[in-house]
A and B are shown apart, each in its own frame.
Chain A
Amino acid sequence: MRKKHSGRLAITQYSVWSFLFVVVPLIFIAYYAFTDNNFSFTTENITRFFTATSNLTEDDGTVREVRTYILIFMRSLKLAAISTAISLLLGYPIAYIMARASEKAQKTMMTLVMIPMWMNFLIRTYAWMTILQDTGIINGIIGKLGIGPLHMIGTETAVVIGMVYDYFPYMILPLYSIMAKMDTRLFEAARDLGCNSFGVLRRVIFPLSLPGVISGVTMVLIPSISTFYISQKLGNGKFFLIGDAIEGQYVANNLHFAAAIAFILMVILLVCMALVKYFTAKHVYGGE
């Protein structure tokens, strides 16, 4: 009886808080998304997202008509997906190394992963500008070696570097915390049963680390999709992403359309997350 009671209290406080400060604000967004400037009902903001068109000039000079916001969304998704994939590929081994290190080394490494994030985000991004510029530090170094110059700032590469850098710890930490808990005897058992190193990774480590992978991917993908600061600073403002569109609409005092874009973005992301959860849950529990 008491167990049930304390469990209920734990969930109730969170339910109430979430309702007040997560769900109710969402109702405000939905309300703005489905109303016009005079607060009368309209679906115009939503349809505008899907139907607005404009002319796009390709690199070869041909002009074609595109759906503006769909294009912006796809571009944001592409950059965010690349950044997330790179974060996962780079973060997975380091999380594994951390998890297998001595306890002292684990703590030190975790501290070192988090510390850069305690410097202000804007200031870190400024520092990246200094590193990546044509007259910047990397080009200064490789120029002395007689290579280059390498044009990085204002390219997709620079934006991806910025995204990976800024959200990297949010990939490493969940991976690390789940790997640190893994029972290493399972790896030995798999080896005894004839698995090679790759087999252990694929059949044992990876499936066990899936919840961490999902948290990591979520925590990197979502902020990368909606960022507007990194694309402005490291992309030289040449990349117009969905976050820029929302911010631009807000600055233009068009709160209703800004809310509509946000609403659509949120629905898409929640559906994706639900699908990922559904399929991985099947995979994890189906495999057991």
Chain B
Amino acid sequence: MKTASKIYTAIIFVFLFAPIAVLLVFSFNEGKSLSVFTGFSLKWYRELLRDTDTLQALKNTIILAFSATAISTVMGTAAAVGINRLRSRWYKAAMNTVTNIPMTNPDIITGISLMLMFVFVGRLFGASTSLNFWTMLIAHVTFCLPYVILQVLPKLQQMDKSLPEAAMDLGCTPLKAFLKVELPEIMPGIVTGAIMAFTLSLDDFVISYFTAGNGFTTLPIRIYGMTKKTVTPKMYALATIIFFVTLTLLLLNNVVDNDGVKKEKKETGKVKRVAMIVLAVIIALIGSVGIFAGRKETVTLNVYNWGEYISDGSEGTFDTIREFEKWYEETYGVKMVVNYDTYTSNEDMYNKISSGAVSYDVIIPSDYMIARMADEGMLEELDFDNIPNYSNIDENFRGLYYDKDNRYSVPYAYGIIGIIYNANVVDETDTGGWDLMWNEKYSGDILQFNNSRDTFGTAMYKLGLDVNSTDKEVWETARAELLTQRPLCYGQVMDEIFNLMESGEASIGAYYAGDYFTMADNQAGDVDLQFYYPERTNFYIDAMCIPKGSQNKELAEIFINYMLSEEPAIANAEYTYYASPNRIVYENETYLEDMGEDVIEVLYPEIENFSELYNTYAYRNLDTDMLDYINTLWETVKIN
């Protein structure tokens, strides 16, 4: 029996720690891949220590988690005691139901509903932005509370009710009876509840995302922002460090605790613990006030961009944001700070800005979203006198459909979708068109996109249909084509395509030209990734815009102009691997040399015909009814 339970315990812990072992190993990977180990290196640890934004995010996360835990533990314990003492059945049932609600609500709904409410209240008080550290803290306390209550309440119910009464009969005040009798009894529940609250707060992404204001980024938000491209082993390195630090601290704490076994010592331990919690709250509050107070002294520029979409100083690259801050101070003699936040999709960005929850000075949406935001009056007209470097943008990238009169946007990068395949698996003769993604020979090896527009796009380009059609029959035809492809697919993925293609797990997939090079750089030894453009395909442009409500439009224009100047423009093009619409980038000798002829050929095909191809094949903004129709149709594909 004893051995059986030991073996069982061992198996469970192997299960719990298997993924931890994986990330530990891959944090030492020389390459960028999370599934192909190319050699031992400490590179990602060095990268991590240099990455001040990630370390700041880590600090924010810890401050938030400590504050939320302390508050929710105290409130939750009191609430559990209160609920337990309630005489009214009706009130008790109501409180139990309310406690269950945050747990029964999907995170995304809790997040959205809190955001809607904060925004509503913010508007009532006429605030320009309604989200900040405090809204996030409220949200965290709210979703942590039920976990504390549900840990403490069963303990109270388990306890002999006559105990506190006996204590009071013996002369204790109710408070003393609670502290001396009830509290020690329910302490294990409180500790478990607090640990759960801390864990939940530390790891929450969805709710934080919706309730986070400008410039307070937590670690999960930062990591999710990276999934536009791919998570790097840098984050594994961070996880490994967190793992060893917490493991050491907690085990040490256990050892110390167990050495001083005597009861009295335990009592003082408890006092110490309470004191620690109080101290943590104070530190957290001072820290958070400091964060905001410190920022108000200087000029601030709020930038909202895709994750992994700017050269950030990693691996010895140009640190665009820091360099801009330096440059600005040198040029204007005024200290300026950039708040740089990231989003994961155009729609997320749109939802957040249109709700009025946050306010930014510069955003970088894609073409169709620019069209939509311009239509809805959400963008400022740019003053091009402040953006003289706009002359570097070629005619081919001006006057495109989303901004015909060049009023709202300055192009940042563009991309074209092509097909990536593993030449060790796929026959050269089968390549060339979209057919490859429907070829039964490669059943189980094909990757499809995991969003409605791009998925339908593959079928529509294949069949020569108009991707911007408003004729529902056209979309039905595309749906039928997609259904024939379903059984052949390995899966529907977005950023996961990097690891799947690099490791040879899948062999065929459509993605952006620039990303193909990232994959080819990291491919496993037995994988040979190749790339081609099919006959018709998607073109997209991401461009810099200033949303209405910007607090500092001129500074935003100075930033946009800076982004167009030589050094940052080249650094960003090299970092993202995407094509640049900026002449001083694609005509620069060093850039051309750094990238190599093969890469340039793929990234900049037929650049002289760009505007024509672009206006023919790019996705347009469709009206909301049509978007709803397409999304619903896509759901009916997905359930098959």
Q: Which residues of A contact B (CB under 8 A)?
A: 2-3, 6-15, 17-18, 21-26, 28-29, 32, 37, 52, 54-57, 66, 68, 71-72, 90, 93-94, 97, 103-104, 107-124, 126-131, 133-137, 153-154, 165, 168-170, 173-174, 176-178, 180-181, 211-212, 215, 218-219, 222-223, 226, 228, 232-233, 235-238, 240, 242-255, 257-259, 262, 265-266, 269-270, 273-274, 277
Give chain B nearest CB distance to A165 CB in angstroms: 7
* Contacts beyond the supplied A56-B640, A104-B258, A119-B243: 8 A-B pairs with Cβ under 8 Å: A22-B101, A118-B242, A133-B35, A154-B490, A168-B16, A173-B192, A223-B107, A232-B450
Known: A55-B636, A116-B20. A123 touches B231 (CB 8 A): yes
Give chain B nearest CB distance to A9 CB in angstroms: 8
Within 8 Å of chain A (Cβ to Cβ): is B348?
yes
The contact sample of 30 A-B pairs, CB cut-off 8 A, is A6-B175, A10-B85, A12-B82, A14-B76, A14-B82, A14-B145, A15-B95, A17-B75, A54-B635, A93-B8, A112-B16, A118-B202, A118-B243, A119-B239, A121-B203, A127-B22, A130-B22, A130-B34, A136-B505, A168-B16, A181-B158, A235-B491, A238-B489, A240-B638, A245-B635, A247-B108, A248-B452, A254-B628, A266-B105, A269-B104
Residues of B within 8 A of A134 (CB): 505
Does the CB pair B243–A115 fall under 8 Å?
A: yes
Does the CB pair B223–A25 fall under 8 Å?
A: no
Residues of B within 8 A of A129 (CB): 34-35, 496, 499
Does the CB pair A240–B635 fall under 8 Å?
A: yes
Residues of B within 8 A of A253 (CB): 347, 350-351, 624, 627
Does the CB pair B624–A238 fall under 8 Å?
A: no
Does the CB pair A11–B492 fall under 8 Å?
A: no
Known: A56-B640, A122-B220. A21 touches B114 (CB 8 A): yes
Residues of A within 8 A of B147 (CB): 219
Known: A14-B79, A55-B636, A250-B351. A94 touches B8 (CB 8 A): yes
Give chain A nearest CB distance to B27 CB in angstroms: 10
Residues of B within 8 A of A68 (CB): 635-636, 639
Does the CB pair A237–B97 fall under 8 Å?
A: no
Contact with A97, one of B9, B91, B174, B254 (Cβ below 8 angstroms)? B9
Does the CB pair A135–B505 fall under 8 Å?
A: yes
Provide the bound-state CA to CA distance between A23 and B110, in Å. 11
Minimum CB distance partner of A233 in chain B: B496
Q: Which residues of B contact A (CB under 8 A)?
A: 5, 8-9, 12-13, 15-20, 22-23, 26, 34-35, 75-76, 78-79, 81-83, 85-86, 91, 95-110, 112-114, 116-117, 120, 138-139, 141-142, 145, 147, 150-151, 154-155, 157-158, 168, 173-175, 178, 188-189, 192, 195-196, 199, 202-203, 205, 219-220, 223-224, 227, 231, 235-236, 239, 242-243, 246-247, 250-251, 254, 257-258, 345, 347-348, 350-351, 450-452, 483, 486, 489-493, 496, 499-500, 503-505, 524, 624, 627-628, 631-632, 634-636, 638-640
Q: What number of A-B contacts does a CB cutoff of 8 Å give?
A: 342
Residues of B within 8 A of A72 (CB): 635, 639
Contact with A135, one of B17, B483, B504 (Cβ below 8 angstroms)? B504
Does the CB pair A126–B110 fall under 8 Å?
A: no
Provide the bound-state CA to CA distance between A219 and B200, in Å. 12
Does the CB pair A243–B108 fall under 8 Å?
A: yes
Residues of B within 8 A of A136 (CB): 35, 505
Contact with B82, one of A7, A21, A90 (Cβ below 8 angstroms)? A7
Minimum CB distance partner of B76 in chain A: A14
Provide the bound-state CA to CA distance between A133 and B437, in Å. 21
Provide the bound-state CA to CA distance between A173 and B15, in Å. 17
Does the CB pair B452–A10 fall under 8 Å?
A: no
Does the CB pair B220–A119 fall under 8 Å?
A: no
Q: A-side binding surface: helix, strand, loop or mixed?
A: helix
Does the CB pair B117–A120 fall under 8 Å?
A: no
Does the CB pair A115–B22 fall under 8 Å?
A: no
Known: A124-B19, A238-B491. A25 touches B116 (CB 8 A): yes
Provide the bound-state CA to CA distance between A57 and B450, in Å. 20
Does the CB pair B95–A250 fall under 8 Å?
A: no
Minimum CB distance partner of B224 in chain A: A122
Known: A6-B174, A121-B203. A252 touches B452 (CB 8 A): yes
Residues of B within 8 A of A269 (CB): 104
Contact with B104, one of A114, A168, A248, A270 (Cβ below 8 angstroms)? A270
Residues of B within 8 A of A251 (CB): 345, 347-348, 451
Does the CB pair B635–A212 fall under 8 Å?
A: no
Provide the bound-state CA to CA distance between A240 and B638, in Å. 6
Minimum CB distance partner of B527 in chain A: A135
Does the CB pair B247–A115 fall under 8 Å?
A: yes
Contact with A118, one of B19, B246, B634 (Cβ below 8 angstroms)? B246
Give chain B nearest CB distance to A40 CB in angstroms: 16
Residues of A within 8 A of B236 (CB): 123
Residues of B within 8 A of A245 (CB): 635
Residues of B within 8 A of A109 (CB): 9
Give chain B nearest CB distance to A58 CB in angstroms: 9
Give chain A nearest CB distance to B72 CB in angstroms: 10
Residues of B within 8 A of A25 (CB): 110, 113-114, 116-117
Does the CB pair A119–B20 fall under 8 Å?
A: yes
Most buried by B among A21, A29, A273: A21
Give chain A nearest CB distance to B413 CB in angstroms: 22
Provide the bound-state CA to CA distance between A120 and B5, in Å. 30
Most buried by A among B110, B157, B452: B110
Provide the bound-state CA to CA distance between A112 and B82, in Å. 32
Contact with A170, one of B154, B196, B496, B524 (Cβ below 8 angstroms)? B196
Provide the bound-state CA to CA distance between A212 and B151, in Å. 9
Give chain B nearest CB distance to A230 CB in angstroms: 13
Residues of B within 8 A of A170 (CB): 196
Minimum CB distance partner of A127 in chain B: B19
Does the CB pair B12–A90 fall under 8 Å?
A: yes
Residues of A within 8 A of B23 (CB): 119, 123-124, 126-127
Give chain A nearest CB distance to B177 CB in angstroms: 9
Residues of A within 8 A of B628 (CB): 252, 254, 257
Residues of A within 8 A of B13 (CB): 112
Does the CB pair A165–B103 fall under 8 Å?
A: no
Does the CB pair B235–A154 fall under 8 Å?
A: no
Provide the bound-state CA to CA distance between A8 and B247, in Å. 40
Does the CB pair B97–A270 fall under 8 Å?
A: yes
Contact with A10, one of B5, B79, B631 (Cβ below 8 angstroms)? B79
Known: A57-B640, A121-B203. A135 touches B503 (CB 8 A): yes
Residues of B within 8 A of A242 (CB): 106
Give chain B nearest CB distance to A10 CB in angstroms: 3
Does the CB pair A222–B103 fall under 8 Å?
A: yes
Contact with A120, one of B220, B251, B351, B632 (Cβ below 8 angstroms)? B220
